[in-house]
Every structure is written in structure tokens, then in C-alpha cells.
Amino acid sequence: MRTARRPAPPLDPGLSRPDPVLEVVVPVHNEEHDLEPCVRRLHAHLAETFPYPFRITVADNASTDRTPWIAARLAGELPGTRWVRLEEKGRGRALHTVWSRSPAPVLAYLDVDLSTDLAALLPLVAPLISGHSDLAIGTRLARGSRVVRGPKREIISRCYNGLLRGTLSVGFTDAQCGFKAVRREVAERLLPLVEDREWFFDTELLVIAERAGLRIHEVPVDWVDDPDSRVDLLPTALADLRGMARLGRALAGGRLPLATLGSAGTT
């Protein structure tokens, strides 16, 4: 895979580190309890199993608890770790901001609760590093996935993905799993077209990519529900429905340059 390389600022004061091949973003809002164990576990996993330079970025979007302080301390202690601060909330806003500025050829993110087993991280990004695929997603709804969660969330997830298939004719199986990756040159073309800055960001990115004919790789994951999830289900569901309607109108009206996006995956 041919990738354009540009210099990145040192991650640690006074030290020069190689440009990362992979940047993993952990978007957080008021996660003072989960942040440190998540980042330390992720860092140890990557240091032990990932064969290329990596960077972990904690993207703090408008936290009001001790999250920024913890993130800054971790960035000072763990090589290849940094944090950025956004003054507005929104997972999509955090991902859009960091991914748009990253020098890494492969960009990924995962949820701070680490519901997804990290053993799936290398299978997630390997097809992007090799150039075999353009985007990759973890899926809890495919054969080979092992999922532990309550019936309420199981029903909501399956209904959401079923609605996507019925309204937008998507072929991917799981839009909501917080475990995704994209090649940087693909992200550079997709991100300007994604309007949502909150929870619908993932879905919008995937729908546009699939309609453009980009290659989406799916990885079955082991996933355990976080009982302390901060997602407010009803407002999020309503926002997702509005997002589907908006995106459906844009696609039907031909307002997205899908033909030009199809060449983003060439190497």
C-alpha cells in the first residue's frame, strides 16, 4: 500500500518517535473511572502484539470531571500516548477532529468501556494495512461473534440494523459496534461528507462508503455489554432516525459525490 507520509510532532517532550502506522482514538466524556484501566490495557496490548509503531489518542470532548487530568497524566507516562481536548460534546466530533489531523495510514477507534475483546484489533486493521480493504468494522451480529448483553439492548441493536437494511439497503451487519477502522486516504475523502457529530457519525460514514463501492471488512467480535453505559437510548434513537431520514434524502437527491469516492480505495 502506498501512503503519503508527512512529519508528525514528537509525542513526548524532547523525544523523536517514528510516525505511527496505526492511530487508535478513545473518545471520552466524563470517564474518570474507566479511562485509566482502558488506556493502560490498550497500550499493553498494542506494545505486546502490534508489529508497527502506534499512537493512542484520548479525545476528551467537554468532560467536566477528572478525565482531562487523568488523560494528561497517561500521556506523560505511556510512550506513544497523547490526549486532545474539545470544548464541545460528541463522539463523532471527537473522531472527525482527530482523524482529520492524523499522519497515520490507518485510523481506528474503540469505546472506553472495552466491551470488545482487544484480540480482534489486529484482525480489524490488518486488511487496511495490507490494502485489501478500505474500512473495517467489528460486528456482534455475524456468525462467530460471542455477545453477552441484556435482552433490551439486543432487541434495540437488531431493530436498528434491521431498519438500516430496510430503509437504506445496507449490506454491513452492525453499524453501532464501537470498534472501527479506516485507511487515512479514504477518511480524507469521506469525512467532509459526514454531517453528524454525535452517535450517528459511524452509520453515516459506513453508508456513504458502501454506496461509493468502498470495501468494508467485517470482523466477528467477542463483546460484553457495559452495564454502566452512558448512552441515553431514547434521545440517541430519535437522533439516529433523523439522521437516517436526512441521509436518505441526500442519497435520493444525488447530493453526494459517490462516483468520485470510489477511487479512494485504489493504491
Q: Please give the positions annotated as active site.
A: 202
For the stretch 140-144, contacts whose Cβ atoms lie closer than 8 Å and that sit 24 or more positions apart, written own/partner, are 140/174, 140/177, 140/221, 140/223, 141/173, 141/174, 142/173, 142/174, 142/218, 142/220, 143/220, 144/220
SS3 of 98-111: the string is HHHHCCCCEEEEEC
d(CA 90, CA 112): 14
CA–CA separation, 9 vs 7, rounded Å? 7
Q: CA 187, CA 200: separation in Å to the nearest integer?
A: 16
d(CA 44, CA 118): 11
CB 25 within 8 A of CB 50: no
